[in-house]
Homo-oligomer: A and B are copies of this chain.
Amino acid sequence: MNLVPDSIQQVISEISRLPGYGEKTAQRLAVNLLKMPKGEAVDLVRHLALMLDKVHLCRECGIFTEKEICDVCSDESRDRSVICVVEESFDAFMIENTDKYNGLYHVLGGRLSPLEGIGPEKLNIKSLIDRIKKLNVKEIIFATNPTVEGEATANYIHNLIKNYPITISRLAYGLPFGGILENADDFTLAKALENKQILK
List A residues at the B interface (Cβ < 8 Å).
1-8, 10-11, 14-15, 18-20, 27-36, 38, 40-52, 54-55, 63-66, 70-72, 88-90, 92-93, 96-97, 109
Interface-central residue, A3, A5, A15, A28, by most chain B CB under 10 Å: A3
- A2-B93, A19-B32, A31-B88 given; name 5 further pairs at CB < 8 Å: A3-B72, A7-B47, A7-B66, A10-B50, A41-B52
**Complex Cα distance A49/B14, Å?**
13
Contact A49 B45 (CB under 8 A): yes
Which residue in chain B gives the minimum CB-CB distance to A58?
B3
Which residue in chain B gives the minimum CB-CB distance to A92?
B3
**Complex Cα distance A156/B45, Å?**
37
Q: Which B residues are in CB contact (< 8 Å) with A32? A: 18-20
